[in-house]
Amino acid sequence: MSPNASARFDVVVIGAGIAGIYALYRLRELGLRVRAFEEADGVGGTWYWNGYPGCRFDIQSREYSYSFSRELLEEWDWSELYTAQPENERYCNFVVDKLDLRRDIQLGTRVTSLTWDGGRSHWTVGLADGTSTTAQFVVGAIGDFSREYVPSYPGFDDYQGVWAHTSRWPREGIELEGKRVGVIGTGSTGVQVIQEVAKIASQLVVFQRTATYCLPLRNRPIGPAEMRQIKDGYAELFKFCLEHNTLSIPTDPRSAYDLTKEERLAYYERIWQGDPPLDILGLWDEAWDPGPINDELSEFLKGKIREQVDDAIIAEKLVPNDHGFGAKRPVAEEGYYAAFNRNNVELVDLKADPIERFTATGIKTRDHESELDVVVFATGFDIVTGPLSAIEIRGEGGRTLREHFADGFRSHLHIMFAGFPNFYLPSPAVTGNFVRAIEPLIDWIGEMICYVQRAGATQIVPTNEAEESWTQFGLKQVTENPFFTKSKYVGANIPGKPFVPTNMVFEPEGKFRARRAEIAAGGYREFAMG
């Protein structure tokens, strides 16, 4: 029997995305009474909500396979190297059905509040329908990148057309065929939308603030023989990821200077042509840091952009001119640059011609007015504190998590918060939904819960000192690294938002895993149990 019989559940999991699905499975396997609540009417999280045209993986599909079940790995076939959102959502449903998880998931149920009851050592979990339940532990598998960011513009309320953010795409879809469409944002998402919508819209206006380095995705179907090979290679892939990082991309151990300039250029060309197993993410360190090699690679990629765009003036607008390759997350395209060779596609360079306001019929920039039936916001996310603030979370003494963040985000390991016992944010070292990072992190959380119960305790919380030291360490890393001070991965994309030192800032996944193992082996000394 659970040591805390006052709670209806041992654990409530919030969210049934990639992390929530695995948390429900793992914690249930540990013999805990678990219930998951999911706001959407289906499972999948990111792969449920991001139903915009063109949405697909830009990391190979096989990297998204859960590793823990031989049966799942055997039975699931990926149809393409980089599968599209409907198939990714189907995969999540397949896993949920196969593991019989659905009976413990309550769909269409938003968690609105969490209130800690110190006397009874449990959380009261408030739901949008006005009901509530209780749980000793809560795992907030809410996704770092789940709260959309829509910039505010004068006149936005006047706009009479249809608009949507890509990550809250209506399930019934939006009619885009033959319409005049505007897309704001040219990150990974914007590029995916633009290259698709260009094919069907009567007119597409792309509002670009910062040009991006895009490499060809080189997607293709996976046939049965290749899928067999992938299945046979899973064990090796998982081993590689555990030993290296979260992706099975081999990194080149050489220095860039071990090669001549001609050899390096030939190497970039092979990567560009998609010569496996070479991948831009595996390039030597010097390619990523500002300096002559980064300049050389950036120039190579700029040349590739110019080659693909017919109009030299448009090409120059699409060539990044204020940052080198790697200063932003690399983007994969399949027809993005070619879209700008079409007559129905127009590019507005917002740095030269900023948006002044929305009108009843579209968008007015300083020099242009565009009439638009639909405006698509591909403008990114209000990371971590965005989704956390959407729930009213009250910890010890009734203090809210929002109050806890009054002077900026603070956490211990980016997983727990001082003053908020038994509440976990399963955020791996790499933000996002990399399965390789999520599985071990949730395993670690499960071990901790069992440790508390075995010890006959009912609660565990990080000490103030541990939280302070982790937070300061993270902030130092952010402020000392020019990449992070501008990065969406610490929330720098939102004007005025204090930095959120995500685990990415601290250490690579392998080191972070080792740190967690050490904490567990040491009896969770950075935490207080009671």
Closest CB 355 distance from ligand NA7, rounded Å: 7
Residue with Cβ nearer ligand NA7 (52 or 78): 52
Enumerate binding residues for ligand NA7 (CB under 6 A). Answer: 145, 151, 184-190, 209-210, 329, 350, 378-380, 432, 488, 493
Q: Which is nearer to ligand NA7, 186 or 503 (CB)?
A: 186
Nearer to ligand NA7, 136 or 192 (CB): 192
Q: What minimum distance in Å lies between the beta carbon of 297 and ligand NA7? A: 19
**Residue (283 or 378) nearer to ligand NA7, CB:** 378
Residue 435 C-beta: closest distance to ligand NA7, Å: 14
Tokens of 210: 């910062």
Residue with the two structure tokens 């907030």: 140
- Residue 282 DSSP symbol: G
Closest residue by Cα to residue 370 from 378, 362, 379: 362
Q: DSSP 3-state assignment of 14? A: strand
Name which of 48 and 527 has its Cβ closer to ligand NA7: 48
Per the CB < 8 A criterion, the answer to whether 67 and 74 are in contact is: no
Q: Are strands 362-365 and 355-358 parallel, antiparallel or unpaired?
A: antiparallel
How deeply is 220 buried, as exposed, middle or buried, from its count of CB atoms within 10 A (0-12, 13-18, 19+)? exposed
Q: What is the CA radius of gyration of the chain?
A: 24
Q: Minimum Å distance from CB 308 to ligand NA7? A: 19
Backbone phi and psi for residue 114, each to the nearest 5 degrees, phi listed first: -135, 125
CB of 323 to ligand NA7, least distance (A): 9
Closer of 184 and 435 to ligand NA7 (Cβ): 184
Our CB check for ligand NA7 shows the closer of 161 and 395 to be: 161
Min CB(480)–ligand NA7 separation in Å: 22
> What would the DSSP string read from start to end of 475-503?
HHHHHH-HHHHT-GGGTTTSTTPPP---G
Closest CB to ligand NA7 among residues 114, 204 = 204
Q: Is 376 helix (H, G, I), strand (E, B) or coil?
A: strand
Tell me if 352 sits within 8 A of 343, measured CB to CB. Answer: no
Gap between the Cα atoms of 415 and 400, Å rounded: 17
Q: Degrees (nearest 5) of the Cα angle 150, 151, 157? A: 85
**Residue nearest ligand NA7 (C-beta atom):** 187
Q: Distance between CA atoms of 302 and 266, rounded to whole angstroms? A: 16
CB of 151 to ligand NA7, least distance (A): 3
Residue 415: CB partners within 8 Å, gap ≥ 6? 424, 425, 426, 427, 441, 445
CB of 156 to ligand NA7, least distance (A): 12
